[in-house]
Amino acid sequence: MLAMQLLRGAVKHLGSRSPCSAEQLIPALRGVSSSSQQLSVSGRNHASSCADNDNPKILITGGLGQLGVGLAQLLRRRFGKNNVILSDIRKPPSHIYHSGPFIFSDILDSKNLRELIVNNNISWLVHYSAVLSAVGENNVALAKEVNITGLHNILDIATEHGLRVFVPSTIGAFGPSSPRDPTPDLCVQRPRTIYGVSKVHAELMGEYYHHRYGLDFRCLRYPGIISADSQPGGGTTDYAVQIFHAAVKSGHFECNLHSDTRLPMMYIDDCVRATLELMEAPADTLVSRTYNINAMSFTPQELTQEIQKVLPDLRVTYNVDPVRQAIAEGWPMALEDSAARRDWGWKHEYDLPELVQTMLTHINLGNQVAQAY
């Protein structure tokens, strides 16, 4: 009788989540171990929980970049640690390796990628592997290979296996002939960087695969993303991350953009939440497959002034990089995102004051922890 009462309570507690079967719950109530199900990646076994089995199995490519680790943390809280696999071609830091499944994966090796998806029963694929704007201009051949050939592998494999696939785009997908303030979802896109060209290509190829083959393709145009937990990866908006670390460490920052260069920005928590919300949105609510999302726009001077409210001794000088400046001047000053707000309820939480307080708090706490060890 007690066992049945506990079973009823457990099922009731699950609420709106997909319930586990009674056959899975009863052995646990009797104190008997049910047969374990394990996910084997990178030579390690991770026991899957009952709840894990009801959730999507997600692979993140390029997972050691600025966004992959943060998104993995959110997805693991939402769907279970063992249902989210980070992958990259680099060796992860120890704390990332031990925080959940990690596996080597090269998006240019389609055989390896297929094996990974089949062996781990992947249902969602988040494709973050990319060569960013400033780095891409210095190595066009590499950018073409990773950003275009790699994308084709992802789209083909996702179509073959019926995956839901997310490929990020960016403000870099626009060019000097696009409306800049604000930039709408639909307008002229003629970027002048290989990074931007590859992102327009990704948007159009993804939408083509959706209409031609029924691929569940989803895409967001990200602003510049700001995070305290990861290092910049060669993007034009990197200054907006570097300035915080310099402000705390030395009190001096040399900016490589003009002081009045306005660009759209977003705190990483808003970015990863938007990604999850789009991935979870019912397909019939998505009028488009590519959406702008926006949060705030500011110049280096405005960001400096906001940081100086907390750290008044911060000194900023300017040594403009002509390559990055030219890229920035062809990008939007703000993104118009009413479609995302209408279709799937997008709403940002961080504006400039909240961004500055959060970044400085995280960096200070991180430094204190580092000093303690």
Question: What distance in Å separates the CA atoms of residue 296 and residue 188, rounded to the nearest whole number?
Answer: 23
Beta bridge partners of 102: 86
Q: Which pair of structure tokens corresponds to residue 96?
A: 């990332």
Report the chain's C-alpha Rg in angstroms.
Answer: 22
Residue 101 and residue 87: Cα distance in Å, rounded? 9
Whether the Cβ atoms of residue 47 and residue 81 lie closer than 8 Å to each other: no
The span from the CA of 64 to the CA of 97, in Å, is: 10
Q: Is 195 a residue of the active site?
A: yes
Task: Decide: helix, strand or coil at residue 12.
Answer: helix
Cα–Cα distance measured from residue 362 to residue 351, given in angstroms and rounded to the nearest whole number? 16
Residue of 97, 128, 195, 267 marked catalytic:
195
Which residues are bridge partners to 88 per DSSP? Answer: 104
CA distances, 364 to each of 44, 95, 161, 244, 265 (Å)? 34, 19, 45, 10, 22
Q: Which residues are catalytic?
A: 195
